[in-house]
Structure formats: C-alpha cells, structure tokens
Amino acid sequence: MSTVTVRYFVTDLDVAVAFYRDLLGFEEELRPSPVFAMLYRGDLRLLLSVPGGQGGGAPMPDGELPAPGGWNRIALQVDDLPATVDELRGKGARFRNDITTGIGVRQILIQDPSGNVTELFEPLAAYHERSSNAR
Amino acid sequence: MTTDPLDALRLPVVPVDPRPEFTAALLRRIDGHGDLVDDEPITFRYFVTDLDAAVAFYRDLLGFEEELRPSPVFAMLYRGDLRLLLSVPGGHGAGDALPDGSVPTPGGWNRIALRIGDLDRTVAELRGKGVRFRTDITTGITVRQVLLHDPAGNLVELFEPGGGYHERTRGGTIG
C-alpha cells in the first residue's frame, strides 16, 4: 500500500485533532504549527489545515479563503456499522443522517466539529472492491 | 522464592535488531482500533454534475482507471490504492438528499492531494490539455503545490515533495 493524502479544512485544530484521533482512530503524526496537523489511519494521511494559515490554508490568488465543509469526503470502512455508530454516539459524535442502505454498502455520515463530513460504510452483498492481487 | 531448576538450561537472551518500524506497526495494530479495517483501499468521494465528463477527466488527465460504472449516477475509479467514488447529486445512494433536505453538491475545499514527480512538467502538460487551475504553483511547507479544478468545480491538489518533506515510513512487513 502506498500513502494516500487527503486535506480537510478545520477551524479549531486542537478540537479537530482530538476528533479524528479519539473517535475515528487516526494517529497524530506531526503538528509543526498551530495551523497544520498530519494524521494517519493506516495508509491514509489526513492533512488538517486552518484557513488563512501558511501553505495549504493560504488564501487563493483572488483573496478567497478555504473553508471547512462541503460534501466531498473520506469514506472509512468499518466491520459493524451499527456497533460503531452506537459507540460514537455514546462519545458525543454528531451524525448528519441515520444509517442508509446504498449500493453494496450501508453507510452514514459523521460530522466533525468544523462541519466536515466523513462517510462510514459497511460492505453488504454485491459490494465491489478491486481485489488486491489485481492491483 | 524457589529457583526454577530449568534456568540452567535456558538459552541466553540474544539481542535482536529492534526493527522499529515493524514494532511500531505491530503496536499500533495491537493498541486498538481492532474494529477498523486495514489493508483496504483508501476511499474518497467527490460529487460531480456530469459523470461522463468527470470520469474522462480523472481517467485521461490524472491517471485514474475506471473500475465500475454501474449506473448513470455513480462511478468507481482507482489510482493505485486510492479508490475514487464519483456520485451525481440527487442520485440513489450517496447522492440522496439528507433527512434535513440538503442535497450534496460538488465543490468545497476538502480534497485529495496527489503526489507528482515533476510538478512543473505536469502542470504544463495539464494546462496544454485545457485543465483549469485555481492557483499557480506555490511553495508551501516542505512541498510545492498547485490546485486544479475538475469539470464539476471540485479541487484536486497536486504536490511535489521538497526539502524537509515528511511522510511516515512503512516497514512493508505489516499493513
């Protein structure tokens, strides 16, 4: 497996790091400044940037600032979605919806403290993933 | 305290190479998150308005391979271990409206970041193919990077590592 990198924007870095670390199983790898942190969950590398900071959070050439939110997101596979959701609800996590049944999966959207969503999914019959020896 | 009579027969403790990466990976695995599934592709979902245009963009310009397109509102692509799901808002499944009535849309700032060997060359090549960039190449913290738009307005970050670049090293034995 090679590293896959994703960037999310967050308003409060401490709160965001705690959320991804304590609720979603990420490990804090680096926090070199008050506006940037790097976390890992397996081979997923999550970059958290505070809008307005240097680097990934810097304003665009036209002055527009990045912001948290939107709909594009990481999707994390879990073994037992209802159990995971119960556990996370017990820890105070906010969800955008209830568990829904999609195509080949059931899934739910968890919301981080900045308003970003992350999808949690559990494979069902007809779930498709490229088999590893085909990679 | 009694002495174990077998002590005399025991082999001496032999120092072994600690193999820190292996140990760290093993400890991470033992340490918890047993319910979280490892060894799976990393999945990211983008919302797009025109599925054909989006698939062509990620396939022809960014090196993804089309894996599945089971319906007009959903496609699955791969680029190495990154699995990209493209969903059309309003479609069945992930594109559905939420209970509060909000419907997913493309855009926003959260994004995948793809590592590129030669950013200047890649950007020149993509510009030549008509790709719209949101920024010029900027120098960030240990990387040079650029932001481009997909046809639906989603952002994709391309980066080239520079001095001081950090990425967790993996032993390759576990995970």
Q: What is the per-residue pLDDT across B131-158, written as a single tens digit (0 to 9) for each?
A: 999 999 998 778 999 999 999 999 999 9
Interchain CB distance below 8 Å, A70 and B96: no
Residue B29 confidence (pLDDT) above 70: no
Residue A135 confidence (pLDDT) above 60: no
Residue B139: closest C-alpha in chain A? A55
pLDDT of residue B49: 96
Alpha carbon distance B156, B96 (integer Å):
24
**Residue A100: enclosing H or E segment and its boundaries?**
strand A100-101
Query: What HEC string does chain B produce?
Result: CCCCHHHHHCCCCCCCCCCHHHHHHHHHHHCCCCCECCCCCEEEEEECCCHHHHHHHHHHCCCCEEEEEEECCEEEEEECCEEEEEECCCCCHHHCCCCCCCCCCCCCCCEEEEECCCHHHHHHHHHHCCCCECCCCEECCCEEEEEEECCCCCEEEEEEECCCCCCCCCCCCCC
pLDDT of residue A18: 98
Residue A94 confidence (pLDDT) above 50: yes
Q: Which of residues 7-26 of A touch B (CB under 8 A)?
A: 7-9, 25
Confidence grade of residue B33 (pLDDT, cut at 50, 70, 90): very low
Compute the mean pLDDT over every residue in chain B, rounded to the nearest whole number. 83
Residue B17 confidence (pLDDT) above 90: no
Interchain CB distance below 8 Å, B44 and A6: yes
Residue B175 confidence (pLDDT) above 50: no
Residue B41 confidence (pLDDT) above 50: yes
Confidence grade of residue B35 (pLDDT, cut at 50, 70, 90): very low
Average confidence (pLDDT) over A78-105: 94
pLDDT of residue A127: 86
Residue B83 touches chain A, beta carbons under 8 Å: yes
Average confidence (pLDDT) over B75-80: 96
pLDDT of residue B172: 42
Query: Lowest-pLDDT range, A68-77, A95-104, B30-39, B84-93?
Result: B30-39
Residue A66 touches chain B, beta carbons under 8 Å: yes
Query: Lowest-pLDDT range, A119-123, B66-70, B92-96, B126-130?
Result: B92-96
Tell which of B109, B135, B148 to mutate to test the A interface (max A CBs under 10 Å).
Answer: B109
Residue A128: closest C-alpha in chain B? B68
Interchain CB distance below 8 Å, A130 and B96: no
pLDDT of residue B40: 78
Query: Lowest-pLDDT range, A72-81, A83-92, A113-122, B17-26?
Result: B17-26
Alpha carbon distance B12, A29 (integer Å):
37
Interchain CB distance below 8 Å, B109 and A107: no
> Are residues B70 and A103 in contact, defined by beta-carbon separation less than 8 angstroms?
yes
Nearest to A56 among B32, B46, B140 (CB): B140
Confidence grade of residue B173 (pLDDT, cut at 50, 70, 90): very low
pLDDT of residue B94: 84
Confidence grade of residue B105 (pLDDT, cut at 50, 70, 90): very high
End-to-end CA distance of chain A: 10
Whole-prediction pTM: 0.84
pLDDT of residue B55: 98
pLDDT of residue B174: 37
Report pLDDT digits (tens) over A14-58: 999 999 999 999 999 999 999 999 999 999 999 999 999 778 899
More confident residue, A12 or B14: A12
pLDDT of residue A104: 87
pLDDT of residue B53: 97
